[in-house]
């Protein structure tokens, strides 16, 4: 016979969300620190030229370019990947919350959380449409 799974308790959801946020921030910090160490190891002795502004290279302006640079151990790509992970952490939290509210069968919170997720995603990728 099939038994219905019991929904998570509020405490379990809070613990999962807390661990998700904590893990995301720690992972992002570690990635940024690794990228920073590599950057300083390779470019720490270079003299910066503050009179001329150089924007981000074209390859660091897209997610695919950042992942490609990070995969090839380019220090700036690794730092940017860490920042992307930091931005993705609250999005993952809201996404998890949608699933938790669906399991609890709380339609009001599912709708509100989906609206929050849509606003988050629009604010992140809306400029590229």
Q: How far is CA 29 from CA 16, 23, 97, in A?
A: 20, 10, 23
- Let me know the angle formed at the C-alpha of 25 by 110 and 69, rounded to the nearest 5 degrees: 105
* Per-residue b or e along 78-104, where b marks 16 or more CB atoms closer than 10 Å to that residue's CB: bbbbbebbbeebeeebbbbbbebbeee
Helix (H, G, I), strand (E, B) or coil at 18: helix
Residue 60 has pLDDT above 80, yes or no: yes
pLDDT band for 1, please (50, 70, 90 cuts).
very low
Yes or no: say if 79 and 42 are a contact pair by the CB < 8 Å rule. no
pLDDT band for 6, please (50, 70, 90 cuts).
low
pLDDT at 48: 80
């Amino acid at each position: 016979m099939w038994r219905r799974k019991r929904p998570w308790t509020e405490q379990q959801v809070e613990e999962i969300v807390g661990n998700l946020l904590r893990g995301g921030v720690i992972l992002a910090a570690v990635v940024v620190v690794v990228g920073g160490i590599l950057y300083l190891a390779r470019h720490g002795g270079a003299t910066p030229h503050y009179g001329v502004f150089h924007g981000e290279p074209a390859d660091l302006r897209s997610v695919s370019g950042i992942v490609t640079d990070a995969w090839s151990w380019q220090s700036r790509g690794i730092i940017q990947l860490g920042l992307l992970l930091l931005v993705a952490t609250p999005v993952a939290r809201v996404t998890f919350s949608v699933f938790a509210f669906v399991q609890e069968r709380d339609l009001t919170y599912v709708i509100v959380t989906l609206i929050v997720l849509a606003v988050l995603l629009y604010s992140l990728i809306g400029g590229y449409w």
